Homo-oligomer: A and B are copies of this chain.
Amino acid sequence: MPASKTARQRAREDITAEILAAARARLAEAGPGELSLRAVARDVGMVSSAVYRYYPSRNDLLTALLIAAYDELGEAAEAADDAVDDRDDHLGRWTAVCVATRAWSLTHPYDYALLYGSPVPGYAAPQDTVGPATRVIVRLVTIIVAAHQAGATSPVAPSIAPAGVEDAVADAIEFVRVLGNPEHADLPEITTRTIMAWTTIFGTLSFELFGHLVGSVSDYDAYFAQVISRLAADLGLPA
C-alpha cells in the first residue's frame, strides 16, 4: 500500500478525467438528456463498453458532470471574491462575484445549461450535488450579511411587502443564522432580498444565454453592469 500511486492508479485518474472532459464537450451538440455514452467513448478512442470500467452507467456520468461544473463555477466565484484586497469593500466583492459568475457562464454555455436549464427527464440529482450547487449563493449571502453586520449599509427598502417574510424563506434564514451571524433586526428582509438578487442574476444569465433578451437588450455587458449595480443598491450596499 505505497503512498505514491501506481501507474495503474494514475492512468485510471487520467482516463476518468478524460472521459469527463469528452462528455462535457459532447454537451455542445446534444444536451444532457441525449448524451451518448457511445459517442463519448468514440471521442476518447475507446470501445463503448470500456467506459463502464470508469462510470457504472450513463446517469453516474451525468452526476459527475454536474458536480464538476458546479464546482468549477463555485471556484471561479469564490476566487473572484478572494481576490478583492479590501475585505470591507462589500460592493467590490459583490460585483466581483457577479462578474465572475457571468464570465464563467458565457465561456461555458453548455455547462451553464446543464446546471440551470431544464432538468433532465427521468434523472434526479443525488445528494452529492447539493454542496457544489450552493457555493455561489453561500458566498453572496456571506458578503451581504457581512456588510450589514459591519453597518456599512443604507437601510434596506422599507418592508412594504405583505407580512410573512419570515415564513417564506424560513429555511434560508435558519441557514444564515447557522452561518454564524447571530442577530440582525433586518435578517428576514436581507435574506429575502439576497435570494431575490441571486435569482435575478441567474435569471439574467439564462435570458441572455437562451436568447430571450434579443430585441430588448442591445449591450449585454452594459446591461449586466446596470443590473448588479441596482441589485447592490436594493440590498443596501452604498455606491
Contacts and interface: CB of A to CB of B under 8 A. Distances in A.
Interface of A: 28-31, 33-34, 113, 116-122, 125, 130, 133-134, 137, 157, 160-162, 164-165, 167-172, 175, 192-193, 195-196, 199-204, 206-207, 210-213, 215-219, 222-223, 225-227, 229-230, 233-234, 239
Contact of A199 (B137, B161, B203, B239): B203
A136 to B, nearest CB: 11
A193 B187 CA distance: 25
6 contacts: A31-B120, A118-B118, A125-B211, A172-B215, A193-B230, A196-B204
A199 B211 CA distance: 12
Given A160-B239, A229-B160, A210 B171 contact: no
A55 to B, nearest CB: 20
Given A29-B122, A160-B239, A167 B218 contact: yes
Contact of A117 (B118, B134, B157, B213): B118
Given A34-B33, A34-B34, A121-B30, A169 B215 contact: no
Contacts of A193: 230
Nearest to A208: B199
A216 B188 CA distance: 12
B160 A196 contact: no
A202 B213 CA distance: 12
